[in-house]
A and B are shown apart, each in its own frame.
Chain A
Amino acid sequence: MGRRKPASKAPPKRLPKTLPKAAGAGVPPDTPGGADERALVVAAQNDPAKFDALYELHFERIYGFISSRTRDRTTAEDLTSTVFHKALENLAKYEWRGVPFAAWLLRIAANAIADQAKRARRETALEDDPRESAATANLRGSEMRGEELRAIEHRARLFRLVGELPEVQKQVIFERFVEQRSIAEIAARLGKTAGAIKQLQLRAVQRLRAQMEGGHG
């Protein structure tokens, strides 16, 4: 009948496909635990629709932390989704007691990783990876060490900076590191030579390095 839209073109309605945006476009204020963040948390507690500001602020942190632990993209995405859904669900339970919101999210993430590892072990009955379990045990229910937190911040910052690269450099980085396409494939897709793609890759990584180092001062 097509009352609303031609049936042939009707996309799944429940999860509208948002056009992919540059990851982290518009670097959010990098002040976990600051007064601004506190205001965002209170706003979201009063109006869950405002949760997306917190999501914008912390996505890179949480995803980066999880993906560094899981080393598998599908699992990292599943767990990141779990963490943010849980956070939204339990937002009212979060209270300011000197614990930054990021730490609260990371705690949820650490627990999700530990639970997932336990499930995976049950399913595969594989020998425990002592390195992984020690790491998650350290995280679960305890404060994260400074070194771990610095690594998380460093990675989150890098991810956001990728979003600010010049368009074509950004494209090369995503095609190469996320889609894991070959140089030849990327060259064909972007209509450039393989040599040009390698140059763009180098420029992008060099630029990111310079920005990362510049920002630490």
Chain B
Amino acid sequence: MAKRSLALQLDEAVQAMLVSLPPRPETAPDRELPPLMELARELRLLPRPEFRAGLKTELQRRATMSEGTAASAAGTGQAQAKALHYQRPGLTAITPYIIVRPAAQFMEFLKSAFDGIEKLRMPAPDNSIMHAEVEIGNGAIEVSDGNEQYPPAPADIHLYVKDVDATYAKALVAGATSLHAPVNQSYGDREASVRDAFGNNWYIATPIGWTPGPEGLRSIQPFLHLHEAQKMIPFLESAFGAEAMGVHKSNEGLILHATIRIGNATLEISEAHGEHQPKPCHLHVYVPDTDACYDRTMQAGATSVEVPQDKPYGDRSAGVKDPFGNSWFIATWQGTK
């Protein structure tokens, strides 16, 4: 009988291995067969690429939501402080800076609707609010009164809360208008939307079909609706070293939803559609090196608003405008000196 080809011999042996049967004895086995089968047995243990990628995403999400958690778990405050050394305590890597008028009333709304806690209020000489910070959940909103230089710029915020129904009800009592009542979404959130009296949209959600890691979720994520949203991803990647964690595109290539991480926080983007049109807003980002980041934003196509400089409140900061018209306050906390 003619010797069967090595390809055939190997395939029969592989087939037998896959169904856990002893291979048919070869009349004229190729000498190369045994070492190849040794490899083939190992190949049977190959991981699924989908599993490898899925677990990576899961770990990224968990790490992102819990920067400092690992450090604090060991009780090493020093490690935690180091982890966040460039961020002002109390703020994450991305904080929406909402400019409205009157800011004082907006802060009252944040307190009554979302159990916000006022952390800081710096009045201007005319008694308007120059800068304020309101903590909500594990995040914060920064606030100031609009003026000529910085006119009011409301934002869209994705807000994770413990009980969406209760928060929705409170927001309405506090003066917000319903965009839609709580409803279970196919992606595992129970979600409602409201618009406050200052023009901000709040997408309020509670996970129901999935369990966040023990460290919980980021309470606050800015949500940007953009024209040609897909162009925002490379901008954020090159300007801020951002990472797109989940990008869902339509068949036409439009971004339906994407979550983007910068440092220990995330923001979301989607293609503008219907009533969800671009709303250029202000974002405050903490980065390890303001000067380097400022240069990168320039190379990535941003325009300069303010070159990097040391601020009296301990930040080195700069201002840029991205190609979509959003303003970014880039900052590095230099610590208390």
The interface of chain A, by Cβ under 8 A from chain B, is 1-7, 9-23, 45-52, 55-56, 59-60, 63-64, 67-68, 73, 76-77, 80-81, 84-85, 88-93, 154-155, 158-159, 162, 173-174, 176-178, 180, 183, 195, 198-199, 201-202, 205-206, 208-209, 212
Contacts and interface: CB of A to CB of B under 8 A. Distances in A.
Interface in B26-42: 32, 35-36, 39-40, 42
A46 B275 CA distance: 42
A49 B186 CA distance: 28
Contacts of B245: 16
Interface stretch (B51-59, B104-112, B307-315, B326-334): B51-59
B37 to A, nearest CB: 9
Given A12-B188, A14-B210, A45-B70, A85 B59 contact: yes
Contacts of B263: 47, 49
Contact of A23 (B44, B52, B209): B52
Interface in B5-61: 6-8, 10-11, 14-15, 18, 32, 35-36, 39-40, 42-61
Contacts of B276: 3-4
A159 B210 contact: no
Given A48-B66, A205-B43, A12 B187 contact: yes
Contacts of B193: 1, 3
A48 B248 contact: no
Contacts of A195: 7
A49 B203 CA distance: 26
By secondary structure, the A interface counts as: helix
A89 B54 CA distance: 18
B304 interface: no
A23 B36 contact: no
Given A4-B225, A14-B210, A77-B48, 19 more contacts: A10-B186, A10-B187, A12-B186, A13-B246, A15-B61, A18-B54, A45-B83, A47-B83, A49-B63, A56-B56, A63-B47, A88-B59, A89-B70, A155-B42, A158-B43, A174-B46, A183-B11, A205-B36, A209-B35
A11 B57 CA distance: 15
B264 A198 contact: no
A45 B210 CA distance: 27
Given A3-B276, A16-B245, A92-B73, A177 B44 contact: yes
Contacts of A6: 256
A5 B248 contact: yes
Contacts of A84: 55, 59
Contacts of A198: 7-8, 10-11
Interface stretch (B74-82, B166-174, B292-300): B74-82
B270 interface: yes
Most-contacted residue by chain B among A13, A91, A155 (CB, 10 A): A13
Contacts of B74: 90, 92-93
Nearest to A180: B18
B67 interface: yes
Contacts of A16: 57, 245-248, 259
A92 to B, nearest CB: 4
Contact of A47 (B55, B67, B185): B67
Contact of B73 (A46, A89, A174): A89
Contacts of A49: 60, 63-64, 67, 261, 263-264
Nearest to A4: B270
A210 B150 CA distance: 65
A85 B82 CA distance: 22
Contact of B36 (A5, A177, A209): A209
Given A46-B79, A201-B14, A208-B39, A88 B62 contact: yes
A48 B63 contact: yes
Nearest to B64: A49
B232 to A, nearest CB: 15
30 contacts: A1-B183, A3-B193, A4-B223, A5-B248, A15-B61, A16-B245, A20-B49, A21-B52, A46-B83, A47-B83, A47-B263, A49-B67, A50-B63, A56-B56, A85-B59, A88-B63, A90-B70, A92-B71, A92-B73, A92-B79, A154-B42, A162-B46, A174-B46, A174-B49, A177-B40, A177-B44, A178-B46, A198-B10, A205-B36, A209-B35
Contacts of A21: 49, 52-53
B199 interface: no
Contacts of A81: 55, 58
Given A93-B74, A159-B46, A199 B7 contact: yes
A51 B59 contact: yes
B180 interface: yes
A49 B59 CA distance: 9
A14 B74 CA distance: 27
B207 interface: yes
Contacts of B88: none
A49 B210 CA distance: 21
